[in-house]
Amino acid sequence: MGKNRIVIVDDEPVIRMDFREILTLNGYFVAGEAADGFDAVELCRREKPDLVIMDIKMSVFDGLSAAEVILSEGLSDCVILVSAYNDKEFFKKAKHAGVMNYLIKPVREKVLIPAVEMALAKSLEIRSMKNKMTKMEEDTKNAKIIERAKYLLASSSDISEKEAYEKLRKLSMDKRCSMAKIAESILSQDSAKAFTEKAKVYLMKKYELSEQAAYLRIKRLSSEKKLSLSEAAAEILNNAGK
């Protein structure tokens, strides 16, 4: 059995000790203990445990409220709440908050361990699903960036989009960098050029300068303040209220 990291939260030290002993004997690692919901949240922010086993009724920040914070902030994927009372209203609220299980005290080993195993298995499924969703979102975002860079490269170099794509792919291989990163760099450069062009046009109109004189003014500011051309252009436009 792997060493899953578990946090125990209960305002009764004896119960925390009992849970720790049961969990340790069954191959789990207790990453920390807390006596109230407030400390539980802070502990989970530090430890990012695989599972939190937490009492509901505590003097400072009850377990249900703490569970809502822990789950909403992604501090742990998995919470089991424990109570001395079989309260249907609490059970409904716990279910709504995304709590994995709700156990009634006294919690014996034969009840606790199966509940822990089931909760961790479900948590693993949820984590896997989240990772897949995150990867899909990232892939979609990268595809859009590559598509924009491909179109820009094709337009500026007077080549087909297929040739632009091959150029991006070759750059990616040569630089040993993802196509999305190469595409981002191309788009960033284009954005910087557009920014500099806008500042140049502003200076030409404002001071009746030639295109070359306006460019030299941006370049001088860049040199004086040790900024990039686009940063110098941004400062000019900011000062102009653009």
Give the highest mean pLDDT range of 122-126, 138-142, 147-151. Answer: 138-142
Distance of alpha carbon 205 from alpha carbon 178, whole angstroms: 41
Q: Is residue 199 part of a domain?
A: yes
Our CA angle for 68, 70, 75, nearest 5°, is: 155
**What's the rounded Cα separation, in Å, for the pair 231 and 211?**
19
Q: Residue 55 pLDDT more than 80?
A: yes
Specify whether 108 is located in the same domain as 197: no
Does residue 18 form part of some domain? yes
Give the pLDDT score at 242. 62
Look at residue 233 in the predicted model and tell me its pLDDT: 87
Looking at the domain assignment, is residue 46 inside a domain?
yes
**Does residue 122 sit in the same domain as residue 46?**
yes
Q: Which of 109, 130, 151 is the last residue of a domain?
A: 130
In a domain, 142, yes or no: no
Find the CATH number of the domain harbouring 219: 1.10.10.10
Is residue 16 pLDDT above 90, yes or no? yes
Whether 106 is in a domain gets the answer yes
**What percentage of the chain carries pLDDT values higher than 70?**
99
Domains of the chain: total: 2
Residue tagged 């975002």 (tokens): 141
**98 and 189 together in one domain:** no
Ranking 13-17, 83-87, 178-182 by mean pLDDT, the lowest is 83-87
- Kindly report, residue by residue over 189-221, the tens digit of the pLDDT: 887 888 788 899 999 999 999 999 999 999 999
Q: 28-37, 58-67, 85-94, 140-149: lowest mean pLDDT where?
A: 85-94
The pLDDT of residue 1 is above 50: no
3 band by pLDDT with thresholds 50, 70 and 90: confident
Structure-token pair, residue 40: 């539980």
Instruction: Look at residue 39 and tell me if it is in a domain.
Output: yes
DSSP letter string over the chain?
Answer: ----EEEEE-S-HHHHHHHHHHHHHTT-EEEEEESSHHHHHHHHHHH--SEEEEES--SSS-HHHHHHHHHHTTS-S-EEEEESS--HHHHHHHHHHT-SEEEESS--HHHHHHHHHHHHHHHHHHHHHHHHHHHHHHHHHHHHHHHHHHHHHHHHHT--HHHHHHHHHHHHHHHT--HHHHHHHHHHHHHHHHHHHHHHHHHHHHHT--HHHHHHHHHHHHHHHT--HHHHHHHHHHHTT-
In this structure, is residue 60 part of a structural domain? Answer: yes
Of 71, 105, 130, the one marking the end of a domain is 130
Residue labelled with tokens 């919690």: 107
Which is more confident, 150 or 44? Answer: 44
pLDDT value at 144 more than 50: yes
Do 107 and 212 sit in the same domain of this protein?
no
Q: What is the structure's pLDDT at 156?
A: 72
Give the residue carrying structure tokens 């695989």. 50
Pairing status of strand 79-83 against strand 51-55: parallel
Amino acid 217 reads R
Q: Is residue 164 part of a domain?
A: no
CATH (domain of 72): 3.40.50.2300
Find the domain containing 96 and state its range. Answer: 5-130
| Average confidence (pLDDT) over 79-105 | 87
Q: Do residues 114 and 24 share a domain? A: yes
Phi/psi for 160 (5° steps) reads: -75, 160
